[in-house]
Chains A and B, each alone.
Chain A
Amino acid sequence: MWKSFKPYALIAPQSLVFALFLIFPLVMIGVVSFWQFNGYAMAPDFSLDNYLGIFTSLVTVKTYLNTFKFLALVWVVTLLVGYPVAYFLAFHVPRLQWQILLFLLCTIPFWTSNIIRMISWLPLLGREGLVNQVLMNSGLIHQPLEFLLYSDFAVVLGMVHLYIIFMIAPIFNSLMRIDRTLITAAADLGAGGAAIFREIVLPLSAPGMAIGSIFIVTLVMGEFVTVRLMGGGQAASVGKLIQTQIGSLQYPLAAANAVVLLGVTLLIVVSILRVLDIRKEL
């Protein structure tokens, strides 16, 4: 009796936390998204106005498109930069200790504060920042580059800086699992470096890329810190929109946006899972 009941007792505290602070809040977001805001507070209701507002407002639709733009750019850059880094670690670093050590070197910044990591870019990218100073002094440019900070460029740079490890780690993991004898066999059969990469390494690392992409999607879609700090006033994202709406106490509207955001995010994640089966990686 106790034996079959024991696991449930053991998982109870953790499940209770998730029930209270994850499931219940998400359900409440769904409920409140149908409520109304009367100017002071929210009032229970069943109205689709919040959703209608989202899909008919040009500003909101543009905000969503802008978020997708950030997502696409960050995804492409993290993949193109992250893959070679993971590949280098997995295939060119000779000893396991060195591989782990260099990998840890890459991960340390990701455990520290996101806010500080964003602030760190300010003295580099600002109008009088280091990059502009160096470029001006070397005579390459005569006017400071304005697009470096408080721009879409800065937002994408910041997000790549914050989140690229979430692409590198799963790719590194799947590259490390590739049976090295496969590569030796292919080489013995006369395959060149490019063919080995295309026929063996790339397909076998696809699940890693899929997991990394899922992380990037979920991180970027709700992002507002980087958009605030690096994007200046103009840059828009759904996360920032939600945060602004809460600032003016419009909880039902923010909730409706959150539901749409979650729906879109899940849709992208599911389509990634359709293309690639990641279950064997878990």
Chain B
Amino acid sequence: MAKRSLSFYVLLVFFGLFVLFLYGPMITIFILSLQGPDGTLTFPIRSFGLYWLGQVFREQRIGNFVEPFGRSLLLGLLVMAITLVASVLASMGFRQRFRGSGVIFYLTIASLIVPSILVSLGIGIVFQVMGWQTNWFSSGLGAHLTWTLPVAFLIMLGIFNRFDHAYEEAARDLGAGDLNTFWEIVFPLIGPGLLGVGLLTFTLSYDEFTRTSLVSGQDNTLPLEIFGMTTNVTSPALYALGTLTTLFSASLILLAYLTYLLVMKRQRT
């Protein structure tokens, strides 16, 4: 653009304040989780230390944290596996025109924008009417899929849009069948993209709250457990747990972005 005008500096300051607004609260609890044993829920900080980060792993202080973490981990991996398979297949289906593709596409969008609580309530009602027991690995799994599948599907559509069909046609001309073409040509090309989408899907599931809230059954996932803690845990251990789980998902996100950028670069050359 032209020379830096006054509006540039005004907007720069505005942008800086916005980033501070986004990250400020998170940084606050990072700092507050690094207190010594005499730490409290708020400032001033009397001493620094790793005491509360250590407390997270001692069950008696903060309720049961290890088991919900294990459940969220397992659920995330399950959701990731199902989402990857289903979204890759569906996005490959969309490379060919077919009747009803519009309906399926809008169904996907609908899954993304229907208020989350309705999904949770609906699944809860279905299980109630059927007389099934809600569980994180059944009703919870389904609730997560309504959230991760559309996201993964839309990204996969983008990946396949930039995909050069010439390689596949070459493979077909040389006599490769559908399966062979997929494993020998398509899969290696979209592999890094899949890794990115997989990581993203995992974090979406790992942090999901609203859709799971009514259908997780007796055993909580980690976000539900943390939500419960907000009312009865009054020590910085809550912040420490928040810090650890945020660092965990943020690093996965960064990894996902990096692989995604890598795949875009690779497809361009």
Contacts and interface: CB of A to CB of B under 8 A. Distances in A.
Interface of A: 3-4, 6-15, 17-18, 20-26, 28-29, 32, 42, 81, 84-85, 87-89, 91-92, 94, 102, 104-106, 108-109, 111-117, 119-124, 126, 128-130, 133, 161, 193, 214-215, 218-219, 221-225, 229, 239, 242-243, 246, 251, 254-255, 258, 261-262, 265, 269
Contacts of B92: 10
B69 interface: no
Contacts of A4: 98
A116 B117 contact: no
B114 A22 contact: yes
A161 B22 contact: yes
B21 to A, nearest CB: 7
B51 interface: no
B101 interface: yes
Contacts of B117: 222, 224, 239, 242-243, 258
9 contacts: A7-B94, A7-B98, A9-B93, A17-B86, A22-B111, A116-B29, A119-B230, A129-B42, A262-B114
B111 A18 contact: yes
A260 B123 CA distance: 18
Contact of A108 (B87, B238, B239, B250): B250
A32 B130 CA distance: 12
Contacts of A124: 24-25, 28
B15 interface: yes
B96 to A, nearest CB: 5
Interface in B94-138: 94, 96, 98, 101, 104, 107-108, 110-111, 113-119, 121-126, 128-129
A54 B19 CA distance: 41
A106 to B, nearest CB: 7
Contact of A111 (B110, B239, B249): B249
B122 A128 contact: no
Contact of B12 (A12, A17, A92, A133): A92
Contacts of B85: 13
Contacts of A239: 115, 117
Contacts of B75: none
Interface stretch (B59-67, B184-192, B203-211): B203-211
Which of A13, A161, A239 has the largest count of B CB atoms less than 10 A from its CB?
Answer: A13
B232 interface: no
B245 to A, nearest CB: 6
B194 interface: no
Contact of B113 (A7, A129, A214): A214
Interface of B: 1, 5, 7-8, 11-12, 14-15, 18-19, 21-26, 28-29, 32, 41-44, 82, 85-87, 89-90, 92-94, 96, 98, 101, 104, 107-108, 110-111, 113-119, 121-126, 128-129, 142-143, 145-146, 149, 153, 178, 200, 203-204, 206-207, 209-210, 213-214, 223, 226-227, 230, 238-239, 242, 245-246, 249-250, 253-254, 257
A28 B129 contact: yes
A119 B19 contact: no
Which of A111, A225, A243, A246 has the largest count of B CB atoms less than 10 A from its CB?
Answer: A111
A224 B214 CA distance: 12
Contacts of B113: 214-215, 218, 269
Contacts of A88: 11-12, 14-15
Which of B14, B15, B116, B142 has the largest count of A CB atoms less than 10 A from its CB?
Answer: B15
B43 A133 contact: yes
B29 A108 contact: no
A187 B118 CA distance: 49
A15 B206 CA distance: 23
B146 A111 contact: no
A161 B25 contact: yes
A22 to B, nearest CB: 5
A210 to B, nearest CB: 13
Nearest to A29: B122
Given A113-B246, A261-B115, 15 more contacts: A13-B86, A14-B86, A14-B104, A15-B107, A18-B146, A88-B12, A105-B19, A109-B26, A111-B203, A111-B204, A115-B226, A119-B226, A120-B26, A124-B25, A215-B113
B142 to A, nearest CB: 4
B106 to A, nearest CB: 10
Nearest to B199: A111
Nearest to B242: A116
Contacts of A258: 117-118, 121-122
A20 B142 contact: yes
A123 B206 CA distance: 25
B125 A32 contact: yes
Contacts of B114: 22, 26, 218, 262
Contacts of B178: 6
A18 B83 CA distance: 12
Contacts of B129: 28, 32, 42
Contacts of B209: 113-115, 225
A92 B207 CA distance: 34
